[in-house]
Chains A and B, each alone.
With several copies, the nearest count.
Chain A
């Protein structure tokens, strides 16, 4: 993991999110307040705009700046949650050393754990955590078992997609959708969809390298 990698992933993700923008927008209009797509797009834009400022900085500093940007520039649930993710990332030890795959996994797992603590949502509550927690569990498995990386990432792609789809028939207990009771059923959670697209994009990028 490097600053360069982060920026180029942000660009890839931006492309994918923009391609799916109207779907994500509609999802938050159905069971939320319609701003999720703009929050995500704003966040990606802000991170990508940082490129000039951070591209030659050490990773710790760059992650810190990304975290502050995401935290202060997005707002809403997404801003707090993804901000928390990057703050956790930026606090990882030994960021001045080379970050190989296992280390990167650890950082992501810790980031997702921080999100979970911030939002107090677990699997089954119809949020992005329905995608992120199982992904984190799988990452941990891959890391601990020294599994074949590309094979593991393919499985993660599948997990993210299944879990994203699984939010469709859930009752929500956290987030805006929780206010709807039964009426939330039948709609995929917007944060679950955007998270799944992010994971999908990064995994595919690494697999195709």
Chain B
């Protein structure tokens, strides 16, 4: 295992400490129980947004704590959902009286732990479950689809509404709309290595890719031979469009997300391929995001998220945000 690491057991704590020091103007890191919260004091009457999940997806979620986005994030161990006392403590710390909205990715562990945290928290609260991964067939009898990169968009867009005074109910409604309007699919070229494991999560041939991979290196739709970017992007878009079925000339936000080990140059190339393919299909790209936002440790690969936008979504997307990993307008 080649990582900047001292002891696997200390990996998360040390990284969070560094994060806290490097961004001390925006956030603070609490340990025991562990959560990241905004530095500045609460705004009366603002709904508080709390997300969280296993670590290893940085900057998600800690990097999204700050003005216009999250109020707190609860990081679990690498790829393990955080524990309920983290959510409880974070909620108690940030709630200004207007209630707490938990933003949870759809994994059994996250759902169960957030549920317990919500039960343990005495204040008003509600939850949104994100499940944008179209790689997974949906079914009402199963856990359903995974929550992946669209979670970033939900956090940004709902974060802006909360900042503007949206109620708990309005925030939840908008979050659910964004989640429903979004579809994501990813592909991995290499595996990632969980620090505690010290070896790659999966083996993959020199000429292979995992199509539809999950953000923990879980298997996707199929193992395939690697292909030119245009082909990969075309296949990803087919799967998403098939699912989202945008109207002709519908405006979308195009989000090209790196898995952690793929450089920006390639992500922009993917963006270019996606832009052109979408154009040829009558889909208009109105907003963009390109970069490493919802990662899987050092995995090489990328995901594409499409979000169908209406005026309200665009307005809240454009609104100012000031976090460690996403910042504009201020």
Contacts and interface: CB of A to CB of B under 8 A. Distances in A.
CB atoms of A and B under 8 A apart anywhere in the complex?
yes
Contacts of A76: 54, 76-77, 79-81, 109, 113
B83 A72 contact: yes
Given A179-B136, A181-B136, A181-B137, A75 B194 contact: no
Interface stretch (A29-37, A50-58, A137-145, A153-161): A29-37
Interface in A108-154: 118-119
Interface of A: 25, 29, 31-35, 38-39, 42, 68, 71-81, 83-84, 118-119, 172-176, 178-181, 183
Interface of B: 33, 54, 76-86, 107-109, 112-113, 115-116, 133, 135-137, 139, 141-143, 145-146, 194, 196-197, 201-202, 214, 216-219
Given A77-B109, A79-B109, A33 B217 contact: yes
Contacts of B133: 179
Classify the interface of chain A: helix, strand, loop or mixed: helix
A39 B197 CA distance: 12
A26 B278 CA distance: 40
Residue from B86, B108, B143 with most neighbouring chain A CB atoms (10 Å): B108
Nearest to A172: B142
Contacts of B217: 29, 33-34
Contacts of A179: 133, 135-136, 143, 145-146, 214, 218
Contact of B33 (A72, A79, A183): A72
Contact of A72 (B84, B136, B145): B84
Contact of A35 (B79, B82, B85, B116): B79
A142 B197 CA distance: 40
Contacts of B78: 35
Nearest to B203: A29
Contacts of B197: 25, 29, 34, 38
